[in-house]
Chain A
Amino acid sequence: MKYLDEYRDPVLARRLLDELRRTATRPWRIMEVCGGQTHTLVRQGIDELLPAGMRMIHGPGCPVCVTPLETLDRAMAVAARPGVLFTSFGDMLRVPGTDTDLLSLRARGADVRVVYAPMDAVRLAAEHPDREVVFLAVGFETTAPANAMAVLHAARLGLANFSMLVSHVLVPPAMTALLDDPDCEVEAFLAAGHVCAVMGWHEYEPIAARYHVPIVVTGFEPLDLLEGILMAVRQLESGRYEVENQYVRAVRRAGNTVAQDAVRRVFRVTDRAWRGIGELPDSGLELAPDYQEFDAARRFDVGGLCPVEDPECIAGSILTGARLPTDCAAYGTRCTPRHPLGAPMVSSEGTCAAFHAAGRTPTRSTA
């Protein structure tokens, strides 16, 4: 794939780093919102090569990490029911709920299957009319269109045995919630390229203007990130605060309007609790009234949920960039990918997991 080589060129990467060092006169603090970007930054060690003092703050953009504990407990209660065929994206399987995780439930006999697209779950429902097929629909704006299409398809097929446990979250409300926090240190954002490929970047323009914060729509390859950081620093150095697009090969200002239409048809905006952060107004999607027959939360009455977070986990502070994984007393000891206390240690996009996979220790990590 041509794109990969082009955006991983070591010579160009060093040139961008040199340019960054020449441009930055102050130790700017930039947040990458997306967990995929955190993963690339840490895997490549880009954050350790930045000019002295400059810091990347790892944001709340890991969909696995921010899915509320109650949703997970509900998912596991539904998955454990006889006759249910429970489907999910792979990295949700290891996320710890209050008592267990989907992978362990599967090992004990629950029919939990990994799917690569929500349409696969619809296909399973058509193939198994005697089973209740449930899909755990989580993620940001990126996965919402495919989930919406799956609901529309299931409705067209008249599938009465398909439903979704919906826990979608939206990026702009999270950004404004962070900026409204008086302790917020973020001076510029790298916005997630995949989200903007769907939604465009017009939603970000009022945020940049209101909070005087540069926002650069950025891709996921090493050179994308270096260029995005450089563009943000150039704005900061010149006192500008605009929305710029580094990811021109994939993103237009208006985004993908067909995808947006599907999302608007199937979902409606709702308040949503973010794991580790709390309730944010208008920050999530739920099934619209016309499609509530596909709502697994309504279809399966699972009462008695008592979600209890591990008191030692500081996921909330990690997800808002207030603290680093290596600040956590449990990091790498009581909390590991083998036995995660909280979600950021689970997904490959989670900040703690990214740090752990790269072998970061308290003395090696950037502060």
Chain B
Amino acid sequence: MNIQCPTPAHEEEVVLLGHGAGGRLTGELLDQLVLPAVGGGTGPLEDAALLPGHPGLVMSTDSFVVSPLFFPGGDIGSLAVHGTVNDLAMRGAWPLALSVSLIVEEGLPLAELRAVMESLGKAAQDAGVPVITGDTKVVGRGAADRLFINTTGVGQRHELLAPSAASARPGDAVLLSGPIGLHGTTVLSTRENLGFEGDIASDSRPLHRLVRALAPLGDAVHVLRDPTRGGLAAALNEIARDSSAAVEIEESAVPVPEAVASACDLLGLDPLVVANEGCLVAFVDADAAEDALTAMRSLPEGAQAVRIGEVLREGQRERVTLRTLVGARRIVEMPLGEQLPRIC
């Protein structure tokens, strides 16, 4: 080595965008920095937490920083309601009330803020959940990307449901309520002006009624999860890890809309790791799988519900495998962080 060359030295690490993408980097940040600081427990990280001392109540909080604020199929306002309603629903809960906090960048046209708030209000009304408290802050130009919204929700669990990411069991059927990849590809396409916007729309919608339809199945419903950041791959990997389960899905059974497949193909993205906002995965007792599918298909948001796989009775635990179209098996890894479009 040339002695004038400094030995490669990695500088102090900083937060990367990938730390917020819901994959392995996010997990590392939580495990190594966030959770130790707040005395977080060692149990699975669920979409919503049980409220200590109040059996039956759950709570969830989420911040929405999507850019652009408006996209085909939704906007940041309705998304902020749907996201938190869905996180409550994934613990088997019906939403009781929401709080809404706004962080607004100086210079945002009032007309845009009004449009977002009207959409948020309508989404809350349509979901049947009141907004009971909130907060508004304005920050200087450049200190935020136009508008950030935080929503916190409290929900009441359905009496018979107690789903948890740690409750998948061997033999469970893995069900998916609808097609994947719509939200992530829509937002990317709109933000980057890629030209897919005409063919594609976000699947953003509330899923609490879908969960209520599953309530009669009671403890046959083991896990509910909405595969948002990190997509289906991250959701299934989290469940496999928290349940110590061997999950296998069939590639040909996973519904990927044609427009999503085309966009992902062009950009070199994997539909399995693209974000969703309007579908859920359910792990249910194999005996109850058909009833669960029938219940989901009775509602518009579950009309395309399908069985995509199972929890293997024998297989490597904490692993997600995929039967490929040509009949081979491959491991579905936890995505790392930000998805980077490839060259060609």
Contact = CB atoms under 8 A, between A and B. Distances in A.
Interface of A: 1, 4-5, 8-10, 13-14, 17, 36, 42-46, 48-49, 63-64, 89-94, 98-100, 103-104, 106-108, 114, 116, 138-140, 142-143, 194, 222, 226, 306, 308, 310, 337-338, 347-349, 356-359
Nearest to B199: A1
Given A44-B325, A116-B341, A4 B16 contact: no
Nearest to A194: B344
B336 A338 contact: yes
A45 B258 contact: no
14 contacts: A4-B258, A10-B325, A14-B327, A44-B324, A44-B330, A45-B330, A64-B342, A90-B340, A91-B340, A99-B10, A107-B16, A116-B341, A347-B343, A359-B331
B321 to A, nearest CB: 8
B313 interface: no
Contact of B344 (A92, A143, A338): A143
Interface string B13-38: 01111100000110000000000000
Contacts of A46: 326, 328
A263 B107 CA distance: 45
Nearest to B323: A45
A99 B9 contact: yes
Chain B contact residues, majority secondary structure: loop
Contacts of B325: 8-10, 13, 44, 222
B328 A44 contact: yes
A43 B327 contact: no
B133 to A, nearest CB: 35
B2 interface: yes
A100 B11 contact: yes
B298 interface: no
Contact of B343 (A42, A44, A63, A226): A63
B326 A13 contact: yes
Contacts of B265: 1, 4
A222 B326 contact: yes
Contacts of B341: 89-91, 114, 116
Given A89-B342, A91-B268, A13 B327 contact: yes
B5 interface: yes
B135 interface: no
B51 interface: no
A166 to B, nearest CB: 14
Nearest to B5: A306
Given A45-B328, A63-B343, 16 more contacts: A13-B325, A17-B326, A36-B344, A46-B328, A49-B327, A49-B328, A63-B344, A89-B341, A106-B17, A107-B14, A116-B267, A142-B344, A143-B343, A338-B25, A347-B342, A359-B333
Contacts of B6: 306
Nearest to B233: A357
B292 to A, nearest CB: 26
A344 to B, nearest CB: 14
Contact of A91 (B262, B324, B331, B343): B343
Contacts of B343: 63-64, 89, 91-92, 138-139, 143, 347, 349
